């Protein structure tokens, strides 16, 4: 059974809705330890002085912010603690906005919000109001001594919360080089074929059909090696660089391949049904 990672309350106006915060994901990363190649012993990380190479104990380490090359301002934990956001158990709703106004680039991590004991009615009221109005709540809350901007939105029969980046953390497109010039606009014929290609690849979003193939292969490799099997590693093919392509020819070839693949799938399905 999952345990909540945080308990608090959603507040808007004078309404208070006690909730529990749960993580929405279980990360499936494959973690490796660093070992010495000769005998497989674990490698430990040590903190050393960049000047004399001496190891430095944790109690001797302070925080420093580099204001110019090799010039630091030292800040104490007590000074930072005094500036930390005031500990609070409230998720304070500040605004209700339309979901389509939020660019997904702002989202960081998502959580489930579950009503705490006795909060079912108030929780259901907020959920129903947000569904009916088709609005998303923008709120602030403090988690592990850090203040987060967040978006609360209905997720089927419950509420979810997504932490968000602040506006000044988002890289502006004006800072990027190499964006398409006006003269790079596609021609009508190219756009028509591109739209046909998009339509041919269009489907309903089914998240379960997308698998982490790399992780599966890594776990299979580990299992084989743990069982003493000899693994032969094939050299990965090199990516072609600087190859100039005929855009129209590539679009038409892609569309033709998809149509052929769809035809083969339908043909195989008919044969399967005929033999059933």
Q: Which of 23-37, 115-129, 236-250 has the lowest mean pLDDT?
A: 236-250
How far, in Å, are 178, 188, 201, 247, 251 from residue 191 at the CA level? 21, 5, 15, 11, 10
66-93 burial code (b ≥16 CB/10 A, e <16): eeeeeeeeeeeeeeeeeeeeeeeeebbb
29 located within any domain:
no
- Structure confidence at residue 183 (pLDDT): 73
130: domain range? 6-24+84-168
15 located within any domain:
yes
Three-state secondary structure call for residue 131: helix
Provide the 8-state DSSP code for 42: B
| CB contact at 8 A, 151 and 138 | yes
88 located within any domain:
yes
138-153 burial code (b ≥16 CB/10 A, e <16): bbebbbeeeebbbbbb
- Indicate the number of domains in the chain: 1
- Structure confidence at residue 238 (pLDDT): 67
42 located within any domain:
no
245 located within any domain:
no
Alpha-carbon span 186 to 168, nearest angstrom: 33
pLDDT above 70 covers what percent of the chain?
A: 96
211 located within any domain:
no
- In this predicted structure, the answer to whether residue 241 has a pLDDT above a threshold of 80 is no
- In this predicted structure, the answer to whether residue 129 has a pLDDT above a threshold of 70 is yes
110 located within any domain:
yes
> Would you state the structure tokens that stand for residue 94, as one six-digit string?
């500040």
CATH number of the CATH domain containing 11 = 2.40.290.10
Q: If pLDDT is split at 50, 70 and 90, which confidence band does 116 have?
A: very high
Residue scoring higher pLDDT (276 or 226): 226
- Structure confidence at residue 207 (pLDDT): 82
248 located within any domain:
no
């Amino acid at each position: 059974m999952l345990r909540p990672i945080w308990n608090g309350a959603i507040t808007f106006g004078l309404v208070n809705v006690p909730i529990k915060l749960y993580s929405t994901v279980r990360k499936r990363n494959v973690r490796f330890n660093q070992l010495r190649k000769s005998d497989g012993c674990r490698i430990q990380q040590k903190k050393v002085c960049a000047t004399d190479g001496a190891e430095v104990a944790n109690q001797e380490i302070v925080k420093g912010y580099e204001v110019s090359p090799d010039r630091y301002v030292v800040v104490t934990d007590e000074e930072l603690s005094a500036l930390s956001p005031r500990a609070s158990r409230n998720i304070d709703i500040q605004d209700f906005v339309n979901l389509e106004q939020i660019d997904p680039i702002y989202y960081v991590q998502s959580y489930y919000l579950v009503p705490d004991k006795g909060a079912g009615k108030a929780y259901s009221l907020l959920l129903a109001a947000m569904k009916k109005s088709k609005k998303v709540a923008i709120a602030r809350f403090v988690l592990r001594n850090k203040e987060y901007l967040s978006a609360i939105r209905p997720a089927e029969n419950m509420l979810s919360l997504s932490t968000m980046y602040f506006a000044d953390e988002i890289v502006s497109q004006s800072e990027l080089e190499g964006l398409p010039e006006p003269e790079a606009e596609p021609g009508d014929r190219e756009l028509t074929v591109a739209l046909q290609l998009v339509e041919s690849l269009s489907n309903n979003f089914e998240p379960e059909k997308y698998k982490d193939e790399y992780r599966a292969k890594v776990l299979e490799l580990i299992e084989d090696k743990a069982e003493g099997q000899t693994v032969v590693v094939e050299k990965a093919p090199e990516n072609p660089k600087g190859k100039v392509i005929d855009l129209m020819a590539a679009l038409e070839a892609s569309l033709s391949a998809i149509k052929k693949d769809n035809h083969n799938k339908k043909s195989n399905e008919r044969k399967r049904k005929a033999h059933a």
